[in-house]
């Protein structure tokens, strides 16, 4: 049942650009939901928000099939924390024995992934690439460059990743969770009156590739479907920074707008690594008035 008090959020094994770890407490404390329906997260990404909220019933979805497959493999026990440890220890040796240039072992794994689409290789790439980016070219091939750290997988990091996988294994037990590769429009067709949806779509004017395209038209459609839909919602989006304000927020006229300061360390562009005001729009029926009152005092 929500809201859930989260002091120190836990981090999932797949780290990506713009991960919401530091915003999880703000999000969790700002919403309320009785948990009787299904929790939806149509832009799953890292899954950090939903995993920390731990709903009993959930549909996590994304258009990126490799994120979805990774968590389906954990759910089916094809991937376990023990398997991850053995894999990363073996790969760490191979990576550290090659120079940090274009002949690096990282690129061998990247080529292998583009041929075989192994979830373990996907994990390896996401934890050793440049700035936690996730990007595919127009042929559908993963093309993020190496992070230039051949010694990346030290024992401490491997243990950290293994513990993150173990955490996801633990919170999945006894839960009715589904992982589905589909666009957000399909997820909205499944939502009912008592459901709740958390939305973390690509950010307007800050999109730098992910798996497929994102446009102003999609963003407007998302705003319409959400505000006219049956499910309660919480929507994350950047609000403003020192340079400009996000005019797309004008499309979100229903619900309550909350803001908090956030700093983005990740980004391909230096201009995207700065402090900004983060917005959270919450449907009226899911607004935690007690938390909002506390914030205003």
Supply the CATH number for residue 38's domain: 3.40.50.150
Helices (H) and strands (E) in the chain, counts: 10, 7
Q: Is 278 helix (H, G, I), strand (E, B) or coil?
A: strand
Angle at 147 between CA 163 and CA 161, to 5 degrees: 5
Task: Please indicate, yes or no, whether residues 193 and 235 belong to a single structural domain of this protein.
Answer: yes
Owner of token pair 């994990």:
123
Q: What is the pLDDT of residue 244?
A: 84
Task: Please indicate, yes or no, whether residues 26 and 123 belong to a single structural domain of this protein.
Answer: no
Q: How many CA atoms lie within 13 A of 190 on its CB side?
A: 20
Task: Please indicate, yes or no, whether residues 85 and 141 belong to a single structural domain of this protein.
Answer: yes
Cis peptide before 3 (omega within 30 of 0): yes
Q: Which of 134, 167, 200 is the last residue of a domain?
A: 167
Whether residue 70 is contained in a domain is answered as no
Q: Count CB-CB contacts under 10 A for residue 174.
A: 8
Whether residue 4 is contained in a domain is answered as no
DSSP readout, 27-63?
A: HHHHB-B-S-S-EEESS-TT-HHHHHH--SEEEEEES
Query: What is the domain count for the chain?
Result: 2
Task: Please indicate, yes or no, whether residues 186 and 282 belong to a single structural domain of this protein.
Answer: yes
Q: What is the pLDDT of residue 266?
A: 46
Q: Which domain does 95 fall in, by range?
A: 80-167
Task: Please indicate, yes or no, whether residues 196 and 272 belong to a single structural domain of this protein.
Answer: yes
Whether residue 175 is contained in a domain is answered as no
CATH code, 90: 1.10.1020.10
Structure tokens at 221: 């459609």
Pairing of strands 232-241, 275-282: antiparallel
pTM of this prediction exceeds 0.75: yes
Q: What is the pLDDT of residue 297?
A: 40
Mean pLDDT for each consecutive 10-residue tract of the chain (297 residues)?
A: 75 88 93 95 96 97 97 98 98 86 85 98 96 88 90 95 98 97 98 97 65 83 96 94 86 94 56 75 91 48
Q: Count CB-CB contacts under 10 A for residue 192.
A: 10
Q: How far apart are CA 209 and CA 215, in angstroms?
A: 11
> Side by side, which strands form the sheet with 39-41?
176-181, 57-62, 39-41, 196-199, 232-241, 275-282, 256-263
Contact present, 124 and 109 (Cβ < 8 Å)? yes
Element spanning 158, H or E: helix 155-172
Task: Please indicate, yes or no, whether residues 192 and 52 belong to a single structural domain of this protein.
Answer: yes
């Amino acid at each position: 049942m929500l809201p859930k008090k989260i002091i120190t959020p836990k981090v999932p094994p797949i780290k990506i650009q713009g991960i919401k770890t530091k915003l999880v407490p703000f999000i969790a404390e700002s919403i309320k939901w009785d948990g009787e329906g299904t929790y939806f997260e149509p832009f799953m990404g890292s899954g950090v928000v939903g995993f920390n909220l731990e709903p009993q019933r959930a549909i996590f979805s994304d258009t990126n099939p490799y994120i979805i497959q990774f968590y389906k493999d954990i759910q089916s026990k094809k991937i376990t924390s023990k398997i991850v440890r053995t894999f990363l220890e073996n790969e760490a040796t191979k990576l550290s024995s090659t120079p940090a240039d274009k002949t690096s072992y990282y690129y061998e794994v990247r080529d292998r992934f583009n041929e075989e689409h192994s979830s373990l290789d996907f994990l390896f790439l996401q934890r050793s690439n440049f700035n936690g980016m996730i990007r595919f070219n127009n042929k559908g091939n993963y093309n993020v460059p190496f992070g230039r750290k051949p010694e990346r997988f030290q024992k401490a990091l491997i243990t950290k990743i293994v513990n993150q996988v173990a955490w996801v294994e633990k919170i999945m037990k006894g839960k009715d969770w589904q992982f589905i590769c589909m666009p957000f429009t399909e997820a909205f067709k499944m939502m009912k009156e008592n459901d709740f949806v958390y939305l973390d779509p690509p950010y307007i004017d800050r999109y730098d590739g992910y798996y497929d395209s994102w446009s102003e038209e999609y963003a407007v459609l998302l705003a319409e479907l959400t505000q006219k839909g049956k499910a309660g919602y919480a929507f994350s989006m950047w609000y403003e920074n020192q340079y400009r304000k996000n005019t797309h927020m004008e499309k979100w006229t229903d619900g309550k707008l909350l803001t908090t300061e956030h700093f983005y360390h990740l980004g391909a562009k230096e201009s995207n690594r700065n402090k900004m005001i983060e917005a959270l729009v919450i449907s009226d029926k899911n607004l935690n008035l007690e938390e909002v009152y506390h914030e205003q005092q």
